[in-house]
Structure 1
Amino acid sequence: MATMTISLPDPMKEWIEAQIKQGEYASTSDYVRDLVRRDRERRSHPELTLADLQRIVAESRASGTSDRSVADILADAKLVAAERAGRNA
């Protein structure tokens, strides 16, 4: 495994150390590896941008309150996720 040295402002260093103390991560390296994994995942799916998410939220808010149950919505979401997983396999 390679070694890399980085410099961070004190508040960022303190944030990482706090995450480790809370048990979120085993070490600074574990935290940075997680950030890199998340960034790679986000960049591998560029079809959904921040602007897209903001538009989706705005449209959802504008559509009003649903009369569907949470269970129905969750069931539909699981179906969509399964369909998407099948297309990406």
Structure 2
Amino acid sequence: MLDPMTTMNISLPETLKSFVDEQVNERGYGTSSEYVRELIRRDQQRQQLRALLVEGAASGATTPVDGSYFESLRTRVRNAHK
């Protein structure tokens, strides 16, 4: 289910408004709101990825992986989709 929409008003200098309008027209967005929502979603994903990378970097060393490790991952994925 989609989250209910709410309104947020933002002020932009004319140069940024023009840029947003160009992006909406050139990239096929229906409205500037769609474009801004997409930017926010991408930023959320970027932050989530960064957090995972930081977590992984802080988790310490693991044993090296080899071909059999990746094959076991492929098998798990195949079995999960059955």
Q: Sort the TM-score into its range (normalised by shorter chain).
A: 0.5 to 0.7
Displacement after TM superposition at 1:23 (Å): 4.2
| Greater gyration radius | 2
Residue 15 (structure 1) aligned to one of 16, 19, 32: 19
Map of 1:44 onto structure 2: 48
Query: Which SS does the other structure have where 2:28 is aligned?
Result: coil
Number of equivalenced pairs:
52
Percent identity (aligned) = 37
- State the Cα RMSD in Å: 2.3
Hey, what's the Cα distance between the residues in 1 that align with 2:39 and 2:27? 16
Residue 3 (structure 1) aligned to one of 7, 21, 31: 7
TM-score, structure 1 normalization: 0.50
Where do 5+ consecutive residues of structure 2 fail to align? 55-69, 78-82
TM-score, structure 2 normalization: 0.54
Moved over 3 A (4+): none
